[in-house]
Every structure is written in structure tokens, then in C-alpha cells.
Amino acid sequence: MPFALPGTLAAPGKGQGQSRLYVLDGLRLVAALMVLAYHYITLRDGWGNDPHAISPTIYHLSQFGWLGVEVFFLISGFVICMSAWGRSLGDFVKSRVSRLYPAYWVGVLLTAAVLMIWPRVRSADNLETVLTNLTMLQQGVGVSDLDDVYWSLFVELKFYLLFALVVYRGVTYRRCVLFCGLWTVAGVVALKANSNFLSVWAIAPYSPYFIAGIAFYLMYRFKPTLLLWAIVAVEFLLAQHYVRGRLVMNVGAKADMAHGWPARVGVILAFAVMAAIALGVFNKVQWRWLSTAGSLTYPLYLLHMYIGFTLIDLLRNKMPAPVLLLSIVAFMLLVSYVVHRLVEKPLSKWLRNGIQKGLQEMRRNSKSQVASESDTGGTTPGAPQNSAAENCRVGTQRPSS
């Protein structure tokens, strides 16, 4: 998330080979806990009618926990650009599929099971909804999300597909900057163009975070320049423009009461922390436990919402609200750790190996087809007859930069 969601956090240290940006793991955990606070406290499903069941101060702060998703998108732009550098399109697809789907499948099935057994907060709809949700493409075919947090995963998927255009040609500094510029323009003109297609792919309320994340990574990998700071500045201003709409979407009628300034400050802090990461301020942070903490954020994000709501509803009259809240958060962290170690890691490895074998078989078949057409002078009826050398050249030529 989602959602920043996942990605390798190993990055080239400046002149020091490979190093891990542990601070990104920590930031991911903070973002996940922000989302949990928003869902468990502000939405308060299961707490009854008392919005201050935890405490008035914590309640008002938790109203802005939805900003954790924006933080995830910032991290995602940084991490996806970093992890895609030097990789082929096949490697990029293998990495994303094997990282996104194993924990997601578990999240869908566990959430569906809980909602079927204890339909106290909501029902699991029907089997068709559950099965379609397993594809992660349910929004594209008009099927509702089994869990509301899945909306951000579809946004992430669209970002991956867009960035795959860069990966296909080869990730370079110039192509990343061009991608940032074109995506920014698309987001700005999407509404005025009256094009549903452009609006769907421009994802304007969220694209500033992905784009700024890419620019921050270019600063980290190379060096800060006026051009990169200009990109970040434009995306920051656009992000501020969309804060009001996001506030109304998440807080609703309470948006006027909140005035919106804490959300704007939250965006400022998120960009400031990412800028510090890009400038290498946190390079000396080498707390290895952050790696484990970061690995829990994706399954935690996927599992926490309706399972947590159901637990709150079942137990809210049996213990004080603060104790119950901390207990549920601890329980969800434990479940996330079990899912990560026992399901996500082995299933991800199995998926990577399977996709790799599929890609190798596809390459072999493509080469065999090219060789066959070269030997026979081409087998397509009505097609121009090229020489064998020309066929080989056409089959292997890469697009120019």
C-alpha cells in the first residue's frame, strides 16, 4: 500500500557498494501504524457511539492517520525506481508479482474467513467477490474490494504498469526525469481533457507522491540538482492542492472541525523526511531490527482492518478500550510475522522460480521461432520474404535510446 508498499531496500551507497536503507523500513512501519490508528480509532467500528473511547487527544490525532498511505506512495516511488535499476522488464515483473501476491492471497482468504464466521462488522459478500479479489484486479472489473484497504493496491499496480514503460527501455536518469515530467503533465490536464482513460491512468491525487519519490531516489543515487529539486517542489505543491479533497474523503463532515492544517503539516514532514533520506542524512542508521519491522508492514496493512474491527466488536465490553487497542495491534503484528515467515517468504520464492522458468521458456520458444523462420525464409503467408540475416537482425534488435 498498498500500498508502498513492498520493495527491496538495498541501494547503492555513494562509493561504498551496496548498503541497506534501514530508515525506509522504519518509515514504512510508522506509515502502517498511522493507518491502523486511523482505522481503529477514528473509524471506531466496534467501539460503540463514543468517539473518545481511547482518549480525546489520540482520537483527534488519529484522524490524520490516512496520510500513512501517502507516505507509502512516496516510499514506493523511491523504492521501485531503486529496485528496477539495471533490471530487465522480465525481472521487474517477477519481482513485483512475487512480492505483492503471496501475502495478499493470505490476506484475502483470512479476511474472508473471519467475515464469514463472524459477520458482525460486514459480510464477505459472496464467493465471486472473494475469488475476483484474489486477482487484485477487482476494481478494474467493477467488483467491490473485500477489504477497504485494497484500493491502494490498485493504485500501486497502475504505477507499476506505467513505470514498466521505463523499465522496458532501460532505467536511466534521463528516462526517469522524462517519465516524471510526462506523468505530471498528464495529471494536470486529466480533468480538463474530459478523458476517462487519462484520468484513470494519471491518478492525479496520488501521482505527486510517486513522482517525488522517484526524484528523491535520483538525488540519492546521483546528486541533488536544481532540476530534481524543481520536480520535488512541483509535486509538493500539487500534493498540498489535493490534501483538502483527501481530508474530506477520509474525515467527511469533520473536515471543517479539523481545519486541515495538521494534514498539510503531515505532508510537509513526509517530504522533509524523504529529502533527508535522499541527502544521506540517515545512511548511518544501521539498526537491523528495522528490517524485520519493515517486513511486517505489508501483511499488517493487508490483514488489520476488518479482522481488527471484528475483534474490537467481539471484545470491546470485556476490557478497557486502551488495553484492547494495544492488544489487537500486538496480535496483528504477531499474525503478520507468522504470515511473513511461514507463507510469504516460501511462496514468494516459489513464485519467483516459477516465473523465471516461464520467462526462460518464452525466450527459448522465441529464439526457436526466429531460427525456424530464418531457415524457411519466413512462414507468414503474404509477408515480405527477408533474408535469414535480416530475420535474425529484426528478431534481436533492441530499441534505440
Domain boundary assignment for the chain: 10-396
Distance CA 114, CA 120 (A): 10
Compute the distance between CA of residue 165 and CA of residue 143 in angstroms, rounded to an integer.
Answer: 27
Tell me which residue of 190, 199, 111, 97 sits closest to 148, measured CA to CA.
111
Nearest-5° Cα angle at 289, 284 to 291: 80
The b/e string for 127-148 (b: 16+ C-beta within 10 A; e otherwise) is: eebbebbeebebbeeebebbbe
What is the residue-level pLDDT of the chain in tens, covering all 401 positions?
444 444 445 555 443 344 678 999 999 999 999 999 999 988 765 565 565 667 778 888 888 999 999 999 999 999 999 999 999 999 999 999 999 999 999 999 999 999 999 988 888 878 999 999 999 999 999 999 999 999 999 999 999 999 999 999 999 999 999 999 999 999 999 878 888 889 999 999 999 999 999 999 999 999 999 999 999 999 999 999 999 888 888 876 555 545 678 899 999 999 999 999 999 999 998 898 999 999 999 999 999 999 999 999 888 888 888 899 999 999 999 999 999 999 999 999 999 999 989 888 888 887 787 777 776 665 544 454 444 444 444 344 444 43
CA distance 252 to 164: 36
Is this structure's pTM higher than 0.75?
A: yes
